[in-house]
Amino acid sequence: MKYNLLGKSGLAVSELCLGTMTFGNTTSEEDSIEMIDRFIDRGGNFLDTADVYVSGRSEEIVGKAIKNKRSDIVLATKVRMATSGNINGVGLSRKHIMDGVEASLKRLKTDYIDLYQVHVWDDATPIEETLRTLDDLVSSGKVRYIGCSNFFAWQLMKALAYSDASRYVRFVSIQPQYSLVSRQMDREMLSLCLEEKVGIIPWAPLGGGFLTGRYNRNEPVEGRLTSKAGESAWVNRALDKNFIILDALLQAAAELGKTPAQVALRWLLQREGMTSPIFGASKLEQFEDNIGAVGWEMPSDVWNRLDEVSALPDDYPDRFIYKFRRPFE
């Protein structure tokens, strides 16, 4: 397992992050703890959860699993989504963040969170209020670093600029959806993160299971892709372009003697700017498959082939701006 620094910080995280969204739901507590132990044994040190995963049960299991090895783990969780029916039980207000961090610390059985992330932008709360609250949490020692997730590029830049102007801590990372079948952040977010040295922690690197090779053009009868809503709903994945990408992935996997999941993750690991893709697994067999993405290099010709087939259309303003790049750039 290799390690990368998280954004513009000195915090080293493993090149893969173990996501725990299924812990306490489709993954039993016993298998969840076993998965974390195996991940640590393979050199992994980065765990991601959220206060709303399985209504807090995920955090409880993670806390139980790492209680005797807390200092060896970089622990990330999130706040923003509704955790109660109370009018103030949602969002990024000072109240909800303060209430949320205390509840997460209790479930995680720890006195600090390494990376505290805002789960999605909150239109109702001024970013100034959110950042001041997060800065106070870092000053208090309850949080070590802060990050965000599911932002537009302008929202991230506004937050970074406000933090710098106010001398608050700034977001060291962003957690966006990113995979061979979801490359929307290439338009603006990726270049922003590279310019501002913001770490990228992609979620759904396997397209919610679409890139595992388990599915074909027939609508699945089981699995996450049967969901009627959400990013990984079949209606969002079963597109002609995505099946062309899937065919290229399957061909690459056959050539390399790897599984489709390993190749899809490996493509991300070798993508500029990616700090630590978050992979999840409902079963231990899936974990073993996914962890096989580390420890080898994808040949450049295969990587380039996957990059080209999955690339976004050459739209404005990219095609216009890059046309006028100076020769030495």
User: Which of these is catalytic: 3, 53, 178, 322?
Assistant: 53
CA–CA separation, 4 and 10 (whole Å): 9
Model pTM?
0.95
pLDDT tens digits, 150-166: 999 999 999 999 999 99
Report d(CA 1, CA 5) in Å as an integer: 14
Give pLDDT < 50 ranges for the chain.
none
Residue 178 falls in the annotated catalytic set: no
pLDDT of the residue at 223: 64
Q: What ranges do the domains of the chain cover?
A: 3-324
Q: What is the pLDDT of residue 227?
A: 66
Residues 6+ apart with CB under 8 A from 92: 79, 80, 118, 122, 125, 129, 130
Q: CA 135 → CA 98, 103, 143, 167, distances in Å?
A: 12, 18, 9, 9
- Print the SS3 string covering the chain: CCEEECCCCCCEEECCEEECCCECCCECHHHHHHHHHHHHHCCCCEEECCCCHHHHHHHHHHHHHHCCCHHHCEEEEEECCCCCCCCCCCCCCHHHHHHHHHHHHHHHCCCCEEEEEECCCCCCCCHHHHHHHHHHHHHHCCEEEEEEECCCHHHHHHHHHHHHHHCCCCEEEEECECECCECHHHCCHHHHHHHHCCEECCECCCHHHHHHCCCCCCCCCCCHHHCCCCCCCHHHHCCHHHHHHHHHHHHHHHHHCCCHHHHHHHHHHCCCCECCCEECCCCHHHHHHHHCCCCCCCCHHHHHHHHHHHCCCCCCCHHHHHHHCCCCC
- The answer to whether 133 and 94 are in contact (CB under 8 A) is yes
Fold of the domain built from segment(s) 3-324: TIM Barrel (3.20.20)
